[in-house]
Structure 1
């Protein structure tokens, strides 16, 4: 009941404040869920009237154009008359009220516990840089705030609106307060007259506006190029509290990236936000660039109870640094921290994005349990099972039991190793699919670990199949003509044995290299100790014992 009464009061206030107008507001435009616009253009009086309705409490702003910088906007919030502001930058200090407010003929801002309404009439004859034509699409920027204080905005959009012409034939008492229409697509992005965030997440299920890209859990990215100055503006808004890192990653990996990191709670200055290089995914590999490289423009890191915002402008071309393109997609990396202290991250993504456009090729945070299972399978297969299988062949004369037991052990251990390899390979493919959106790059050469893994997988299966269909030894144990000499092997068998040994030892070498590199990648990725030393100790003990026993056997045979 109170909501109905409040809406009626708002309607009466709006109608009273604008009783002099001769045009009804028309054409509800849904900007996002709970945020709508109605308008009318009076061509006789050369004015345009706009009403913005937000289903919530917060300041409301609207301007004309597609970009925030140097545009003019009308901003309204409680206890103050709406006014014209110049948006000189992305920080609050750059949003300044114009001295000349004569272009605003009527203005009003009303608010209840559930609704905020900004209504204004703007003269088109005043020189405020606004050119409108009835019946033609015009780009507008609109936003509403996270609170009634002119500060962060919860939503900002750019949308094309066709202003409706009227000639003053219909009285204003037909003017109605537009009701927001749910379910329509949220439209593009950009500027509202706010201080910082150009893209703070919407408190609804609506999609981000155009130019605002969802890049993670509760995080959005807004970018805008200034080609005259050769810079790109970045704004990352994270719905949470923690440090923010964002930068360029040509290899689409964290290692080798050049990033900007903002640490809330620390004083904002030349190195916070600062430029860093990442030589590993551990904190020790996060290196702050020297002071002469700290060339960010208007860089800030800000935080309130619900959001953290990193903003900066960066030159597209800088000596010794990765270039940025205003026209082509750029490879980016993004992460947020589990707290404000620079340390472990709670999410990390790599992706490609165009400046002011869309993003693709997202790679999500890898799942530790999948990669741990993959590493365990491959380590056991090639660090334990295959060396034991080879040892059985080399030390066949030392293995007790029935004749041919060494061969059965050799065959069983190799078969088990191939099975572990197939399972481990399948886990890796699944893990890459799980952490990728779009077309996952399973076997690119960055890092080479994946490509070598594919080679090992193929060779292991081929080696196993050829072994199953190998040419057999001669049936007779002895040469009938000369019992002291074994019966000669066929040429095919001779060639197969050479192939079996060459491919086998090649596989073993590649696998040892790849297990070691995989353990290092796992350590870097999940910031744990590198278990490569343990792997080499196990391999060394098994191989060393086998070689010593083999040498001992040969010496004993030669002495006999």
Structure 2
């Protein structure tokens, strides 16, 4: 039992490192901006190693964008929206480049592949635009605030770069596999066809929420119920113990992965901190880790310190359950998903609570009945039964105790 317990403890403490490390690696680039502006969502753009950051405002269907791409000053860069088709033709583009040592940004509608680039208005409203170039990272950043065309949140976006100029303005790009970079992007959800949705902030927030709900909010309470109720049934000893630690360790592993992703999301949101959610999450992780270490400290049931260990184990365990449920609902308030997801979790917790009430009554009936039987057995042992005062149930009673 001791060696198995140590193995389980090792797995519980070691596997989360792998899970959390892999989770933290799957993120879009954590860019910072010279204007100290914060964006709610970002995605990595395929082909040219560019990134797009944006904040969408549903009240007026506008969006703040920051398009970043690492290129030399001899290269022009562009990002745009095609409101009518896919690809370059029909795109409304922002182009940034250096001309005679001066950094410029222009807008142009691209009606054909052979069109000459010229500075002109776009088919949708542009409220602000600017560009900067970072010498330390050798990267352009195009900033813009615009109204999404056609009152739509899902649009085809394009991006490109090139080194050919004509009369001081961009005039062409390499005709290669990277010659037409585009994707259908949902500015509301953050999902795109090229990058999938794995790199978007909203998708990572959803992963964070799902991991924490399943781990802290479902598996851990289920493990507590197993330890409290299943072990009452003699036929389930010691199976209840392995079921208990399987639930708790699985929950801990998934929970640490979600916790690590939450820390990463928090570090990317410079200037925006959900203090109560963060502090509860840290406290939850600390208490849960103490519970895992409790496996190593678990004394034998006949040890005089077992009572103190039980108090410690039960107190910390129930604190973890309470903190996890509170923090999950705080997470729902922050993420604000469709109501059906919050209602689904409420349904799960209510079901577990209802089952716990039924099992509480059932197991207490079993325990009281067993104690009554033990009392009768002990009473027979103290008297005579016609066989020279020997208690015929003495051995069984001692074994049961």
Compare relative contact order (CA 8 Å, sep 6+) and give the higher one, 1 or 2.
2
Q: Structure 2 length as normaliser, TM-score?
A: 0.45
Q: Structure 1 length as normaliser, TM-score?
A: 0.34
More helix by percentage = 2
From the CA coordinates, give the structure whose radius of gyration is larger.
Answer: 1
